[in-house]
Every structure is written in structure tokens, then in C-alpha cells.
Structure 1
């Protein structure tokens, strides 16, 4: 009965979230005009322009953002990213296989914006026992994305190495993914550096 209820709720969530669409083109998050290679002139205060562009994008990215996609095997992958003003992030993943079984995973790290580049530095996993640190020497723990569009409701970005495109929707601060763990539904974030 519990599994049927979970499956029903997940199905309703998937149907509801599959209905969100970006109805207007997303505005460019890079607010400054790039200089041409042959243009030797510079604005008087180019650093202020870039700081304002990054600052505006950064402020828009604060809070919770939800994404969902169908995997190659037919299952679903959902993720909920919460970015904090202190430069840390937490992303909760929920993977649902075609047979209805689900698993969850949570990761933490640092994030930022520079011009039209969004980046993440993965630092570890959140587990029931606390944080399990990631190896900082692994190159795949550092990701950079080109911001394709960003507004108050949607964020579209593309991974610079894998060329994979993501589109996520802004959600309320009380929005949560169902978490699949055997002991507790939520765990404290034990993340500090």
C-alpha cells in the first residue's frame, strides 16, 4: 500500500512538472556586451559591468530549482538544487527505475557565476551518517556551464565539456523531493570548510 501511494504521488508530481514550459524566450544572463577581438577600446569601468552582470545572475540563481528528465533506460531522474548566498549548494537527486523502485542521493559543494558562466565545485555526499567528502583531485568534481537563459522562473544552461543541456524551474522554498532512505526522511547538512 505504501509503495502504491508513493508511486501515485510520484506520478502526479511527474505529470504536473512535465506541464511546465518556458513560454517566452529566456533573457540573456550576460548583461554586458562582449568586446570584439579587433576592438582595442574598453569601457571606462569594464570590471564594474562584469561584476553587475555576475551579481544579477547570481542573485537570480539563489533558492530552489527543480529539474526532471527521462533517462536512456526509460527511468526518471529528478533533481532539486538549492543555492545559498554564502556560495554553497545542495542538490537532492531522486532516481526512479522503470519498475517503480526509487533511490535518493544528496550532494553538496560550492557554486558561483562569472559573466555568463555558472560553475560548481562538488565537495561531497550527504548521508545518514553525515558528510562523506569527495576527492578534490578528481577533475570531474569541477563543472562549468554556459548560461543560455535565466529569468525569475526558468534557468537554461549547457555543460561546457559534455555539451548536455539542462532546463530547470524555480520552485517555492518549501518544495521538497520525496526522499528514499530507510531511517530518517531528512538529515542535517554537515558541511563546512
Structure 2
């Protein structure tokens, strides 16, 4: 089992897919809130899209969950539709230490690994 304080801080992951690259910057705060910012770049490094999600997160045993409550696109905040099941996500953590965090989506089976950028300042 994992301790929720292990997740508090700032995390990052990047991947490439064909002609685009993708980067995620995740901020998990002690009060249970989060900000996830997703960046998409084309092959020459030009930013194509930047989207942020805000909401709540938690950890129970090895289960990490998120509830997205709003989205920020082009500096405009939009409330999330709380009836949309895509705003609720559940993951099983397979590895968590001071430097990295690996988890798998319960439904899709997708696995993600984030690296710690900085500990939380909260």
C-alpha cells in the first residue's frame, strides 16, 4: 500500500506518437486538488494545443482516482459536466517512490509513468 503524501508534488511525462509529441505536467496538492496540463507539439516543436484540467484526487491503498471539475482552454475556464463519466478516472498504482510514479488505468489498461519534477510547496 502507498501513502498519499508520496503523490503530493509536481510530476511530468512525455511521449511521441507519429508526427506529434505529447507532454503532461501534473500538480497534486496536499488539499486533494490537482491541476493537470497537457501539451501537444508538432514534429518541429511548435505548440499545437494546451489544455489544463482541475479537480480532486485521492489515494486508497494502491488505487489512485481523479475527479475533473473544470477545464482551461485558451485561458478560458469551463466547468466540467459532472454527469460525464469521462470526468471520473481510476488507476492502480504499480510503483511509487521519490522519483517516479507508475499506474495503470483500471478500464483501458493503459500504463503511464511520471517523473517527479519537484515536491509540493503546500
TM-score normalised by the chain length of structure 1: 0.58
Displacement after TM superposition at 1:172 (Å): 2.3
Displacement after TM superposition at 1:173 (Å): 5.6
Relative to its length, the structure with more helix (as a share) is: 1
Displacement after TM superposition at 1:104 (Å): 1.1
Corresponding position of 1:116: 62
What is the CA–CA distance in structure 2 between the aligned matches of 1:167 and 1:120, rounded to whole Å? Answer: 16
Per-residue CA distance 1:132-181 (angstroms, 9 max, x = gap): 1010000111000000000000000000111100000001269xxxxxxx
Corresponding position of 1:98: 43
Structure 2 residue 24 is matched with structure 1 residue 89: no
- What secondary structure is seen at the aligned counterpart in 1 of 2:19? coil
Corresponding position of 1:148: 94
Pairing 1:170-181 to 2, within 5 Å after superposition: 170-172=116-118
Corresponding position of 1:7: none
TM-score normalised by the chain length of structure 2: 0.89
Corresponding position of 1:125: 71
Conserved? CA contact 2:8–2:119, under 8 Å: no
Match of 1:107 among 47, 53, 74: 53
Displacement after TM superposition at 1:74 (Å): 3.0
Match of 1:166 among 93, 106, 112: 112
What is the CA–CA distance in structure 2 between the aligned matches of 1:126 and 1:96, rounded to whole Å? Answer: 18
Displacement after TM superposition at 1:99 (Å): 4.5
What is the CA–CA distance in structure 2 between the aligned matches of 1:85 and 1:162, rounded to whole Å? Answer: 28
Query: Which runs of 5 or more residues in structure 1 are unaligned?
Result: 1-29, 31-52, 175-193
Please give the root-mean-square deviation of Cα atoms over the aligned residues, in Å: 1.6
Relative to its length, the structure with more strand (as a share) is: 2
Query: Which runs of 5 or more residues in structure 2 are unaligned?
Result: none
Pairing 1:21-36 to 2, within 5 Å after superposition: 30=1
What is the CA–CA distance in structure 2 between the aligned matches of 1:60 and 1:111, rounded to whole Å? Answer: 13
